[in-house]
Amino acid sequence: MADTQTDVAVKPKDKAFAFGKKEKALITDPFNDNNPITIQVLGICSALAVTTLVLPSVVMSIAVVFVIAFSALIISLLRNSIPKQVRMIVQLVVIATLVTVVELVLKALNYDVYKQLSVFIGLIITNCIVMGRLEAFSMANRPWRSFLDGLGNGLGYGAILIIIAVVRELFGKGSLLGYQIIGNTDDFMINTTTSWMFGWYANNNLMVLPAAAMFIVGIIIWIQRSMYPRLVDAS
């Protein structure tokens, strides 16, 4: 009796740490097509409050990236064990724990920046971006994809914060990261009193005010939608 062979389609197992187009999109989309600030219009408060100088903005960005990425990972690992009735409480506990770690580390490493950001670091707990990604993505996806989604949204948020801070510090104080760039003395890299190109420049005190951040966010949104018309109705 002849042996009969039956071809069986074997479905390849999903790789735990695959990095294909979908995974890449989780990191790249929040920089433009799904940016937390300019498209989702979330996290605006911190964009107004901490972007007077570049250094605090960079630290705040790193803190949010850490909190959102690892809280997304932890919640995804626990998602099947969390009762629906208390899922938001569990999410808040995880976020608060990670924020506490950030506060303690920052306090130990750079106390001056900690004093500038202490209140706003704590407010990461209530940041809509963090809670939104946990609820919308991490509760329904695997840990690796959830981690990448959190990482991408954190980086997208941080990119806008740093752009705003660079514009505000440069045009408001004439400096970047504390280094004097443009001013009316020889202490600055570019002396406006002797430079023919920057002789018109003077520090704009409006840039130091929180309202300036709102103007800059609006300009970024306008530029983004002008370059990519598909984003006009994205919000």
Question: What gap in Å lies between CA 44 and CA 67, rounded to an integer?
Answer: 17
DSSP-based three-state secondary structure for 175: strand
DSSP-based three-state secondary structure for 11: coil
For residue 171, count other CB atoms closer than 10 A to its CB: 18
pLDDT score recorded for residue 101: 94
Question: What gap in Å lies between CA 75 and CA 41, rounded to an integer?
Answer: 24
- For the entire predicted model, the pTM comes to 0.85
pLDDT score recorded for residue 3: 46
pLDDT score recorded for residue 137: 92
**Non-local CB neighbours of 220 within 8 Å, separated by 6+ positions:** 38, 160, 163, 164
pLDDT score recorded for residue 15: 67
> What is the mean pLDDT of each successive set of 10 residues along the chain, which is 235 residues long?
44 64 90 88 80 90 94 94 90 94 92 85 86 90 93 94 92 84 78 74 82 90 89 70
**Non-local CB neighbours of 54 within 8 Å, separated by 6+ positions:** 162, 165, 166, 169, 176, 177
